[in-house]
Amino acid sequence: MTDSLISSAYSQALEVIAAVEPRIAEATRQELADQRSSLKLIASENYASPAVLMTMGTWFSDKYAEGTVGHRFYAGCQNVDTVETLAAEHARELFGAPYAYVQPHSGIDANLVAFWSILANKVESPYLARMQAKNVNELSEADWETLRHEFGNQRLLGMSLDAGGHLTHGFRPNISGKMFHQQQYGTDPETGLLDYGAVAAKAREFKPLVLVAGYSAYPRRVNFAKMREIADEVGAVLMVDMAHFAGLVAGKVFTGEEDPVPYAHLTTTTTHKSLRGPRGGMVLAQEEFAADVDRGCPMVLGGPLSHVMAAKAVAFAEARQPSFQTYAQKVADNAKSLAEGFLTRGANLVTGGTDNHLVLLDVSSFGLTGRQAESALLDAGVVTNRNSVPADPNGAWYTSGVRLGTPALTTRGFGHEEFDTVAELIVDVLSNTEAGTTKAGGPSKASYVLGDGVADRVTKQSAEMLDKHPLYPGLVLS
Ligand code: DSN
């Protein structure tokens, strides 16, 4: 019954779309076909449920609702209030958080809201106090100048991009690396692991206002109690970006000192990665920061996407089911199977393995850059993304690594054996790919030559596994 409802709902929706712009309907059909027929290993992607996807396609998209529940800059927001209240309630329950702000449109937006709230809450500025207490028009140009200087000179310490941190954790080319006086911590050059002693030493010397923990390409768990100790010792605010591993926190794989929520002053996340919700962001906060976080819109964000907040509520309700804990545990178990599959075939992994949802494969031993490996794998229907490895000689564009995650294929039902086969297929492709040359005949970091027949062989073997674990099995488009 549910399958036929979903099939007929999507088939009819595509007909409605096709009547206006058939090329969009066709691209939408093709995207489903492509996702169904490829091995999706991008660590930040997943497959949301039809309930989550359908919730986004409604008239909530048409409503403006800047402000917060019960305090909007527009009339007629009673139903948006219901949606936002439910999404926040589910989020608080799911993560055991004192406060949840579900409006951010993305992870970067969530981090900007968190940065704003830390600055507003912690920067001791007589000008800021005056700005908040009085009509802002009473501030002189000189006051504003001082305020800009004070805000712009605050210190942030975050994990470097090549060690696995995110762009928004103080990477120089990103706004976070420009708006803050930033420094970065890395990982131990021998082990690739976080060295808490080194982070503490850097924090003592630099005395940041904000210590950012969390990662997008570090294949290990973090002890957030230790990070909080470091923050407390130097008087910093601990902000944890759990975008990548929120599903492992929600699914109770990361508990105790590996659960950031009780330790961080502010925890930010996206909702569409391992958490398997709609594309979007969220900030969880201790009470002390709630009022400042609430000013996120319109201070930092445009009007909330009410249709996406509704889908967040549905996804959080799904993640509160016991079945989500089973899923999250499988995500972590499958990452171990994938890592073992690589190690037994002689491939190099950053840190030598994984204990979260991702592995970082160093492809330099295959004589390839990350870009060449990513492209060759895509030719064989294996969708990954290239990624820097620590102290990467090829920089952030070409890179020397490929990042692989298990959340999406675990949703399709892949288990230990399939992930071992995935490792085998990837090693097959990379062992049969050679670095190409530039037009002038020199070594190229982008071009590559994939051996004859490899793409067909791997695609065929993938198809056997994918057919056993269909994506949206009951969904048949007419
Ligand atoms: N783009 C996300 C990722 O792939 O990790 C983070 O921004």
Annotated catalytic residue: which of 29, 45, 64, 221?
64
Binding site membership of 269 for ligand 1 (Cβ less than 6 Å): no
Could you tell me if 187 and 287 lie in one domain?
yes
The ligand 1 atom at the shortest distance from the C-alpha of residue 107 is 7
CATH code, 358: 3.90.1150.10
Could you tell me if 136 and 64 lie in one domain?
yes
Active site annotation includes 403: no
Could you tell me if 249 and 334 lie in one domain?
no
Residues above pLDDT 90, as percent of the chain: 92
Q: Is 166 annotated among the ligand-binding residues?
A: yes
Residue 30 in domain? no
Give me 172's structure tokens: 């120089």
Domain boundary residue, one of 265, 293, 319: 319
Residue 1 in domain? no
Residue 456 in domain? yes
Domain boundary residue, one of 290, 319, 348: 319
Mean pLDDT, all residues of the chain: 95
Structural domain boundaries enclosing 142: 59-319
Q: Is the pLDDT of residue 130 over 70?
A: no
Could you tell me if 381 and 456 lie in one domain?
yes
CATH code, 76: 3.40.640.10
Taking only the tens place, the pLDDT of each residue in 48-105 is 999 999 999 999 999 999 999 999 999 999 999 999 999 999 999 999 999 999 999 9
CA dist 249 and 317 (Å) reads: 15
Q: How confident is the model at residue 123 (pLDDT cuts 50, 70, 90)?
A: confident
Q: Is the pLDDT of residue 108 over 60?
A: yes
Q: Is the pLDDT of residue 129 over 90?
A: no
CA dist 214 and 216 (Å) reads: 7
> Residue 308, class by beta-carbon neighbours within 10 Å (0-12 exposed, 13-18 middle, 19+ buried)?
buried
Could you tell me if 369 and 391 lie in one domain?
yes
Q: Going by DSSP bridges, is the β-strand pair 71-72/67-68 parallel, antiparallel, or unpaired?
A: antiparallel
Domain boundary residue, one of 273, 302, 319: 319
- The partner residues of 297 in beta bridges, in order of sequence, read none
Find, among 331, 396, 329, the residue nearest to 165 by Cα.
Answer: 396
Could you tell me if 182 and 239 lie in one domain?
yes
Binding site membership of 216 for ligand 1 (Cβ less than 6 Å): yes
Q: Residue written as tokens 């992607």? A: 45
Binding site membership of 107 for ligand 1 (Cβ less than 6 Å): yes
236 DSSP 8-state letter:
P
pLDDT at 158: 98
Domain count, the chain: 2
Indicate the Cα dihedral angle 30, 32, 33, 37, nearest 10°: 140
Could you tell me if 95 and 228 lie in one domain?
yes
Could you tell me if 309 and 196 lie in one domain?
yes
Taking only the tens place, the pLDDT of each residue in 269-307 is 999 999 999 999 999 999 999 999 999 999 899 999 999
Could you tell me if 313 and 328 lie in one domain?
no
Q: Is the pLDDT of residue 162 over 70?
A: yes
Q: Is the pLDDT of residue 135 over 80?
A: no
pTM to 2 decimal places: 0.96
Question: If you average pLDDT over residues 343-352, what whole number do you get?
Answer: 98
Could you tell me if 219 and 360 lie in one domain?
no
Could you tell me if 280 and 181 lie in one domain?
yes
How many residues make up the chain in this entry?
478
Active site annotation includes 384: no
Could you tell me if 421 and 304 lie in one domain?
no
Where does residue 336 fall: left (phi above 0), alpha (psi -120 to 50 degrees), or beta otherwise? Answer: alpha
